[in-house]
Amino acid sequence: MNPQNKPSGSAILTGIKIGVILFVIIVLINGSYYSVSEQQNAVVTMFGELVRTDTAGPHFKIPIIQRVRKVDMTTHGIGIGYAVTGNGQNITVPEDGIMITSDFNLLNIDFYLEYKVSDPVAYLFNTMEPEEILTNITLASIRTVVVNYTVDEAMTTGKSQIQSEIKTLIAQELEDHNIGMQIVNITIQDSEPPTEEIIAAFKSVETAKQSADTAKNNALQYQNERIPEAEAAADKIVQDAEAAKSARIAEAEGQVARFNAMYEQYELNPLITKQRMFYETIEEVLPDLKVIITDGNTQTLYPIESFSSFAANGSQSQEVQ
């Protein structure tokens, strides 16, 4: 090889410098652009100071000087009171799941918390561990609310109200702490007594309550059946009384009218009216009395029935002929 064709040391050095410069230029160019997805926000800082917040799309920054931190803005979920193992099974976390109720009972209650980042700047710079703070706020809120309910309410009818109150309390605490996060929802996954003995006792109580509800429903059904019957009987009694009242009034009014009519006749013919009233009264009081008519001078008295019988027999004989 001709020694004149060998590259000199200065040429090699120049080539290295050019390569380094090209590498730096490529690095600077690549570091000047970044992309943000639909599920992210990007926070740009320079010397520790906030420059801007970028949403989805391509963006430019000053390489090396400016720093970009991307924040996931989608909804996330964590379990409160339980943890998920590697094989997908849930295990209880007693220190987080066991609560005390207003009637001084212990209850193992699990929640599922859904949350997301609402302010990426506050999320990154207002605290070092925002998720840990959120978990602590959630636990404190759960205990604050559950302690106001009985164990029976927390296991059955009070679940919806408990969830609503906890969500409101967490939202207020997050606003006060300003860690850039917001609650989406919180739901009770499961609630049961912490021991088998207490579980058995609660089942017995629940069975008794169901029996009580059944007895109550049967009593209400009997009441609903008997009340209409009693009301119908009462209406019939009232109607019968009204009818009797009307009949007695009509009878009394008739007697008054009859008395007035008799009194008018009495005024016209007092003697005849007295006699007629006497005969009618005797006939009514003594219906089997035999009446004999005489003028007071008759020596032989004949009962009027004999003449009536003779007259009746005579007419029958004439009809036979």
Q: Do 54 and 97 reside in the same domain of the chain?
A: no
pLDDT tens digit at each of 321 positions of the chain: 445 555 566 777 777 777 777 666 666 666 678 889 999 999 999 988 899 999 998 888 888 788 899 999 999 999 998 887 767 677 778 788 888 889 888 888 999 999 999 999 999 999 999 999 999 999 999 999 999 999 888 988 899 999 999 999 999 999 999 999 999 999 998 888 776 666 666 677 778 888 888 889 888 888 888 888 888 888 889 999 989 989 889 888 888 888 888 777 777 777 777 777 777 777 777 777 666 656 666 655 555 555 555 555 554 544 444
Domain boundary pick from 194, 227, 259:
194
Q: Calculate Rg over the CA atoms of the chain.
A: 56
Query: Is residue 29 situated within a structural domain?
Result: yes
Q: Do 147 and 205 reside in the same domain of the chain?
A: no
Query: Is residue 11 situated within a structural domain?
Result: no
Q: Do 156 and 176 reside in the same domain of the chain?
A: yes
Provide the domain limits for residue 135: 76-194
Query: Is residue 7 situated within a structural domain?
Result: no
Q: Do 132 and 202 reside in the same domain of the chain?
A: no
Sequential DSSP letters for 127-173: -S-HHHHHHHHHHHHHHHHHTTS-HHHHHTTTHHHHHHHHHHHHHHH
Query: Is residue 108 situated within a structural domain?
Result: yes
Query: Is residue 310 situated within a structural domain?
Result: no
- The number of CA neighbours under 13 Å toward the Cβ of 159 is 13
Amino acid at 103: D
Q: Do 178 and 81 reside in the same domain of the chain?
A: yes
Query: Is residue 304 situated within a structural domain?
Result: no
Query: Is residue 321 situated within a structural domain?
Result: no
Q: Do 151 and 187 reside in the same domain of the chain?
A: yes
99 by Cβ neighbours in 10 Å (0-12 / 13-18 / 19+) ranks as buried
Amino acid at 314: G
**Six token digits for residue 44:** 């740009």
Q: Are 64 and 71 in contact (CB under 8 A)?
A: no
Q: Do 183 and 268 reside in the same domain of the chain?
A: no
Number of domains in the chain: 3
Residue with tokens 């998720």: 131
Q: Are 167 and 124 in contact (CB under 8 A)?
A: no
- The number of CA neighbours under 13 Å toward the Cβ of 188 is 23
CATH number of the domain that 125 lies in? 3.30.479.30
Q: Do 96 and 177 reside in the same domain of the chain?
A: yes
Q: Do 87 and 166 reside in the same domain of the chain?
A: yes
Dihedral sign for Cα 19, 21, 26, 27, please: positive
At residue 321, the pLDDT reads 41
Domain boundary pick from 129, 162, 194:
194
Domain boundary pick from 26, 52, 71:
71
Residue with tokens 């600077």: 28
The rounded distance, in Å, linking the Cα atoms of 254 and 134 is: 95
The length of the chain, given as a count of residues: 321
- First-to-last alpha carbon distance for the chain, in angstroms, is 190
Q: Do 233 and 275 reside in the same domain of the chain?
A: yes
Dihedral sign for Cα 223, 226, 231, 234, please: negative
Residue with tokens 């106001």: 148
Query: Is residue 219 situated within a structural domain?
Result: yes
Q: Do 211 and 183 reside in the same domain of the chain?
A: no
At residue 312, the pLDDT reads 52
Q: Do 81 and 179 reside in the same domain of the chain?
A: yes
Instruction: Give the Cα-Cα-Cα angle 33, 66, 115 (nearest 5 degrees).
Output: 85
At residue 223, the pLDDT reads 86
